[in-house]
Amino acid sequence: MNLLENKSAIITGASSGIGLAAARLFASHGARLVLVARSAEPLGELCSELGDSALSVVGDVTQPETHDRAVALAKENFGSLDIAFNNAGTLGTLAPLAELTLEDWEHTLRTNLTACFLAASAQLPAMLEHGGGSLVFTGSFVGVSAAMPNMGAYGTTKAGLTGLVKSITADYAHLGIRANTLLPGAVDTPMAGSEENKDWAATLHPVRRIAFPEEIAQAALFLASDMASFVNGSNLWADGGNSATKVQAS
């Protein structure tokens, strides 16, 4: 079953991790893709792997023109924009809150939250031209179900993202727009850090492991597809039970 047949989608942060897994999965379900990342070489390799159904935009998601280019590419080549998986993000500087500089704080907010506002601002008009669409944003359990030491800026952005999604729902649900937040736990991506750090993160999850990127991509596919036609303004936890329990690290 091709859940995204004849659908076009933008995926940001597509050169690695969750975005890479989502690009491969969405393509396997028939989607035509505009893939966005800062790294030209891995992005080009991915487009070569996926073939004619995948186009690329090399750019910084904190810049409005990156999103404008991605939307324009989707419309010009695929005729419309149906789906956006706004997945790019950063951990930012890890430090106790009062030790963060203003530059540290603003960089994390701009990458994780303002970039999603910029993305939605470009994507929504294109979706509305064709009667609606689905926006999926990658959040985190950090800042939503719990805080973590040294992650004040990161957690703030992810908490703010859930508010952004609810606002999109309030403004546009009646026009055929769906917006939802995907909230992973720890995932085996470059952002997860060293093997030692991954082992520690696994102890925070009742399943006693961290997620594979493909598992989070599957949750994104559900939210992007018509299978989630009545899911709007929601947080979808994909965190191995992290938000449901508090496990003692060991």
Q: How many CB atoms sit inside 10 A of residue 217's CB?
A: 27
Active-site residue (options: 26, 85, 137, 154):
154
Q: Is 154 a catalytic residue?
A: yes
Q: CA-to-CA distance for 228 and 238, rounded, in angstroms?
A: 15
The SS3 call for residue 35 is strand
Q: CA-to-CA distance for 213 and 71, rounded, in angstroms?
A: 25
Give residue for tokens 């505009």.
34
Q: Which residues pair with 133 in a beta bridge?
A: 177
Of 49, 217, 35, 43, nearest to 136 by C-alpha is 217
The pair of structure tokens assigned to 56 is: 């690329």
The pair of structure tokens assigned to 112 is: 């994780």
Residues annotated as catalytic (active site), given as ranges? 154
